[in-house]
Amino acid sequence: MATTINEIIKESLESIKAEHLSLTPDNYAKVFCKVAKQKGVIVEDCQKVEKYVKKLDATIIADMKRFNIGSVDELLSFLVAKLNRANEGDALKMVSALALLTKRVLQAITLLHDAKATNLANASLERLDFHQNLQSIELVKEKWFDFISNYDDSYLKKLDVFGHIAKDDLEMMVRDVLRLLNKDDSLEIYKGLVPLIVASLSPSIASGMNDELANIGHELRASPEALGTPAFQKEIKQLISKRITLDKEEVKKKVAALDKILDEINKKIVDLIQSSNLSHQQVKIIRADLQKIDFSQDGFESVHSKLLHIASSLENETRSLSEKMMSNQETITKLQSRITKLESALLVAKQEVKEDYLTHVATRRALSNELERVEDAFVRYKVDYTLCFIDIDHFKNVNDSYGHEAGDVILSTVGKILRKYIRQVDFAGRYGGEEFLVILPSTDLAQAIHFAEKIRNVIEQFKFLYKNERINVTISCGVAQRSQYASKEEVLNAADTLLYKAKECGRNQVMPIL
C-alpha cells in the first residue's frame, strides 16, 4: 500500500506540473484524489464530500449536480450560497434585475446593424413584455440558441478581394471600406492583376509557349503599369489566340491517334471471336469495360461513338455462342457481382487517397501533390504562397480524459471549421494526427497571420460538446511565406518550427506575431 501511495503522490505532482497549476493545498488535494480514484485506491480524506452529501436533503443533492463540487470548501461555498438565496424578497429583486438587464441587452442588440439579430431581439422584447412566464423565456432561449448555432458571417469574405478590411468591428470595417474607395492608385491595381493574367495564360493542353509566357510574366512583374498600354494588351490577346489554336491542334492529334488505336482494337477482337478462342466470359467483361468508358465530358464525342460501335460488334459476334453463355450464366453473374464490388471498393479507395475519412479535408498525399503544384507556379511564374501549420493543443489529454471518440469529434469539427473559412483557392489538409496544413496561394505573411488568428479565435470560442459536456479546445499555429526561403522544404520546416515555438510560448497563439 505504501508503494501505491508513493506512486499516487509522484503522479499527482507530475500532473500539477504538466497542467501548470500552482502547488497549493487545494490543487494538490484535488489532483491527489483524482489520481487515487483512477488507480482504484480508496482514501478516506477523499470521501468527505460524498459522506456529507449523503446527509443532505434530496432536493439539495439534485441542485448540487449542476455544479462540479469536488472539495469540502466548494461544498461549504455552495451551502452558504444556498442559504443566502433563501431570502424570497432578495430573490425576487434579483429576478427583476436580471429581467431588466436582459431587456437592456436586447435593446443594445437592435442597434448593431444586423437585420436578423434586430428582428429576433424585437420579437424577444415583445414576448418578455407581454408573456412573462417560464414557457416564453424557454422559447426565447431556444430562438437565440438557434441564431448563434446557425450564424454565418462568411459573406464578409467577399470584401477580401478589395484589400485588408477589419471585420471584427463595424466602425473599423466602414473606415477601411471608405479608405479603399478613396484610394486612387492604378499601379496597385495593376500589381493585383498581374498574377491573375499570368495564371490565365498558363499552359493548358499543348506545349511550346512556355518561354513566351515566362518572358511576358517577367515583363509584367517588372512593369505592372504596362497593362494599361494598348500595345501590351494586343500582345496578350495574340498569346491567348495562339494558345487556343495550339490546344485545338493538340486535341485533333490526340483524337486521331485514339481513333487509330481503337480501329486496331476492333479488328483484333473480331479476329479473336472468329477464331472461337475467346470465351463468353471474356467477351462479357470486355463489353462491360467498354460501356463504362465515357469521354463526352472531355469533348471526345467521336471517341465515345467508336467505343459503342465496338461494344455492338462484340455483342453481334457472340450471338452464335448463346448456348455456352446460358450454361455459364451463373458464373457470369458471380463475376459481375465481384466486378461491381471491386469497382465500388476502388471508388472508395480513390476518394480516401484524396480526402481524409474523418475530417473530410485533404490527405497528406493530396497535400503533397498540391504543394508541388503551387511550388511549380512559384518557380515558373513567381506566384507566391504561404503555409499555415495548425496543431490542436493538449490533444492527448482530451483522448485520455474523454476517450478517442471525443478526440475524433474534435478532429472532425476542426476540419469542418477549416473548410468553412478558407477561400476557394486555398487548400486545407490533415498533415498527420492532430496536425493540419493550410496552403494559401497569392497570400503574404501578414494576411496569412490574420487568417491563422481568425481560425484560432473561432476554435477557441467554439462550443465543442461531447455527451453534453463542454470541452475547451485551442490551437497553436506556425506561419511561413515561400518567398522568404530558398526551397519548399525550408518553408515547410520553418512553419513547423514556428508551430513548436508557439507551443513552447504557452500554446493558443500564432507565430510569428505581427
Catalytic residues: 434
The torsion of the CA quartet 420, 439, 434, 14, rounded to 10 degrees, works out to -120
Cell 413584455 found at: 129
The residues near 425 (Cβ < 8 Å, ≥ 6 apart) are 441, 442
* Alpha-carbon gap, residue 262 to 252, rounded angstroms: 15
**CA pair distance 353, 429, nearest whole angstrom:** 12
d(CA 334, CA 330): 6
CA–centroid distance for 111 within its chain: 33
> Residue 435 has which C-alpha cell?
496536425
What are the distances in angstroms from CA 409 to CA 359, 402, 415? 9, 11, 10
Kindly give, in sequence order, each residue whose CB lies less than 8 Å from that of residue 277, ignoring residues fewer than 6 positions away: none
∠ CA 177-182-186, nearest 5°, is 110
Dihedral sign for Cα 417, 420, 422, 427, please. positive
Number of other residues whose CB lies within 10 A of the CB of residue 443: 24
